[in-house]
């Protein structure tokens, strides 16, 4: 699934399972960071642009889903994030959970454009080649299933943001988070006012 879906989904898990902002951010990050192994796309594109040659996406194709989409990545990322946590054992387990939720989501919804373009999870990479898991009914990365999941998760995150008065923007900046939440609350209040006037 897309990094944005992973972000919103992991944040929802983190909101439901942690009791402070720092731990919430760490658990959210654990659900997003596996896709850091796709950052090879940057040198791919920049290299092609500088050399004028066609972009082959060499780094992206070689390392995405291989460096950080298995148990070695799960342990590495979860342990590093846990170093910064308030409730360490709890965050360690939740980071492992968010990380594996990411893997499951990729397993079911990360196919390429053609039916045979399945994207497997190589669970022991980059240390061992096997096991390799794939699901033959894996849907497309940009398929309608992923779009519906994203829309539902996004709407749920807006609802949570209004209830709790913080949003997934907290991951990037507390200022952006405050602005986003204040806009949401303004919309909610306007809606409630309109409803109230209509029912009079």
Closest CB 44 distance from Zn ion, rounded Å: 17
Q: Is 133 helix (H, G, I), strand (E, B) or coil?
A: strand
Residue of 126, 10, 133, 134 lying closest to 75 (CA atoms): 126
- DSSP summary character for residue 67: S
Asked whether 86 and 23 are in contact (CB, 8 A), the reply is: yes
User: Using the rule CB under 5 A, is 177 a contact of Zn ion?
Assistant: no
Q: Is 129 helix (H, G, I), strand (E, B) or coil?
A: coil
Indicate the residue whose CB is closest to Zn ion.
Answer: 106
Strand ranges (E), the chain: 121-122, 132-133
Closest CB 197 distance from Zn ion, rounded Å: 47
Question: Which residues inside 10-49 make contact with Zn ion, applying CB under 5 A?
Answer: 34-35
Q: Is 132 helix (H, G, I), strand (E, B) or coil?
A: strand
Q: Which of 106, 125, 170, 177 binds Zn ion (CB under 5 A)?
A: 106
Nearer to Zn ion, 42 or 192 (CB): 42
Q: Measured between alpha carbons, how far is 92 from 18 in angstroms, rounded to an integer?
A: 12
Torsion from C-alpha of 87, 88, 90, 96, nearest 10 degrees: 140
Which of these ranges, 73-81, 101-109, 140-148, 173-181, lies near Zn ion under the rule CB under 5 A? 101-109
Instruction: Spell out, one character per residue from 47 to 86, where the chain touches Zn ion: x when CB under 5 A holds, - when not.
Output: ----------------------------------------
Closest CB 119 distance from Zn ion, rounded Å: 9
Closest CB 34 distance from Zn ion, rounded Å: 5
Question: Which residues inside 133-152 make contact with Zn ion, applying CB under 5 A?
Answer: none
**Residues forming the site for Zn ion (CB under 5 A):** 34-35, 106
């Amino acid at each position: 699934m897309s990094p944005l879906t992973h972000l919103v989904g992991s944040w929802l898990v983190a909101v439901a399972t942690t009791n402070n902002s720092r731990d919430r951010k760490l658990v959210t990050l654990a659900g997003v960071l596996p896709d850091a192994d796709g950052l090879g796309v940057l040198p791919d594109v920049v290299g092609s642009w500088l050399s004028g040659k066609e972009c082959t996406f060499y780094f992206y194709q070689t390392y995405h889903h291989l460096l950080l989409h298995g148990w070695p990545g799960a342990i590495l990322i979860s342990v590093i994030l846990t170093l910064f946590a308030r409730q360490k054992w709890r965050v360690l387990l939740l980071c492992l959970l968010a990380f594996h939720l990411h893997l499951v989501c990729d397993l079911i919804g990360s196919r390429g454009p053609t039916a045979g373009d399945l994207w497997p999870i190589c669970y022991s990479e980059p240390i061992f080649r096997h096991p390799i898991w794939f699901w033959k009914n894996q849907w497309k990365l940009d398929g309608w299933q992923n779009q519906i999941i994203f829309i539902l998760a996004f709407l749920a995150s807006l609802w949570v943001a209004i209830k709790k008065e913080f949003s997934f923007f907290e991951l990037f900046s507390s200022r952006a988070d405050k602005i986003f939440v204040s806009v949401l609350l303004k919309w909610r209040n306007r809606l409630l006012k309109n409803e109230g006037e209509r029912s009079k």
